[in-house]
Structure formats: C-alpha cells, structure tokens
C-alpha cells in the first residue's frame, strides 16, 4: 500500500525498504477539459480546447547547499541521461492525455554520485508565456515512487492546490539523510517561465 503524502510531508524511502536501490518516479497530469466546444470560437481554437498543454518533467541534481554543479546535472527531454548514468528520463509526452504516468524517470540510488545530495523534480509548461498557459489549466497532477522490481507503489503525492497563474511546479525532492534516502512532498508553484530559469535559481 502506497504512502499518500500531503504537501510538506517527508518520508523515509530506503530505510523502510531495505535493499531498494532502483526506483521509478512517475509524474502525471491531465489538461482541464473546457466546457462547451463548437460554437463561434470552436472552429478558431480547435473545439474550444486551445493548444495542447505540453508539460515537461525534469530532474535537477544538486550538490552541497542546494547548488547545481554542472548543467549536465539537469535531466530533461533534451538530456535524457545524467553523465554518471544514475538518472534516466524515458522521454517527452506532449499532451498529458490518458491515465497513469505521463513521464517517468528511473533512478539507481546506489549509482548517484556521492557529491549529489538532492534530486529536485520539476514540471514546466513548454512555451507557457507564449501560449498563455499556466497550471490552473492542469488537473490531477501527481508524483509517485515505484519499486520497479515488483511494480509496488511506495509513495504517492497528489498536488491538489490551485496553481492558477503558475508556470512551473517544484513537485518533490529525493534527498540524502545520513546513509538513507528520503522523499519530500514539495508542491510549490513558481512564475519561472521555463526550466532554465528554475535551474538558474540553484546556481
């Protein structure tokens, strides 16, 4: 049974799961369905739904004092694998339609370099400013941690706040605590227009 977290909660990841060295982090979201459709503007804007909202999940690997040490430590659709091979992104999902995870990241905890202390999971809206899109147009956002060896869901955090006007979400963190790994449910929305601005805040 997965532990369901609220914003701000922290939970042990490896302590209660001895031998856990590989995890899959799934992130998901759905576009809010616009009511109506058709009508006067339906033809102009494609059934009243507007442009697809393309959310992108990324992982920022931080060293001491929450500092980014190299741009190669950002894993996203343009850099699907960390240099050391410990973090692998399975690729971009352009719409968020459908059930289950929209994007997945595999992490080999035992291979994360000793100088990396925290993995920050971020979801951005691609081209948010130009497309005039924000996270008020997204619902059912979640992050979950799964043990891929038996597909057991260990942790799930549903982001239930209203993120209207926010263009970037800091969803959760996995961080070292002594010799163990812990997970924190963050759920903070920001106005960073893109991933590069989020990354810059850690340099």
Q: Where are the domains of the chain?
A: 3-34+52-200
Residue 194 has pLDDT above 60, yes or no: yes
CB 22 within 8 A of CB 148: yes
User: pTM here?
Assistant: 0.89
pLDDT value, residue 96? 55
What whole-number percentage of the chain has pLDDT above 70? Answer: 87
85-131 pLDDT, tens digit per residue, is 999 999 876 655 666 899 999 999 999 999 999 999 999 998 999 99
pLDDT value, residue 53? 84
pLDDT value, residue 31? 84
More confident residue, 32 or 151: 151
Looking up tokens 């891929």 gives 148
Residues 6+ apart with CB under 8 A from 57: 27, 76, 89, 102, 103, 105, 121, 122, 123, 171
Domain 3-34+52-200 has CATH 2.20.130.10: no
């Amino acid at each position: 049974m997965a532990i369901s977290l609220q914003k701000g909660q922290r939970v042990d990841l490896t302590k209660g799961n001895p031998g856990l060295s590989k995890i899959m982090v799934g992130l998901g979201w759905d576009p809010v369905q616009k009511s109506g459709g058709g009508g006067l503007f339906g033809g102009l804007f494609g059934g009243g739904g507007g442009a697809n909202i393309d959310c992108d999940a990324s992982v920022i690997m931080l060293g001491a004092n929450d500092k980014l040490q190299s741009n190669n430590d950002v894993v996203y659709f343009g850099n699907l694998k960390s240099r050391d091979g410990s973090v692998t992104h399975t690729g971009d999902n352009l719409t968020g339609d459908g059930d289950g995870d929209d994007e997945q990241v595999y992490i080999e905890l035992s291979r994360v370099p000793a100088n990396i202390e925290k993995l920050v999971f971020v979801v951005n809206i691609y081209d948010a400013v130009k497309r005039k899109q924000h996270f008020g147009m997204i619902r059912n956002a979640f992050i979950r941690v799964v043990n891929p060896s038996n597909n057991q869901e260990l942790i799930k955090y549903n982001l239930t706040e209203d993120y209207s006007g926010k263009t970037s979400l800091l969803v959760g963190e996995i961080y070292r605590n002594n010799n163990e790994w812990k997970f924190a449910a963050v759920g903070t929305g920001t106005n960073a227009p893109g991933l590069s601005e989020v990354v810059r805040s850690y340099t």
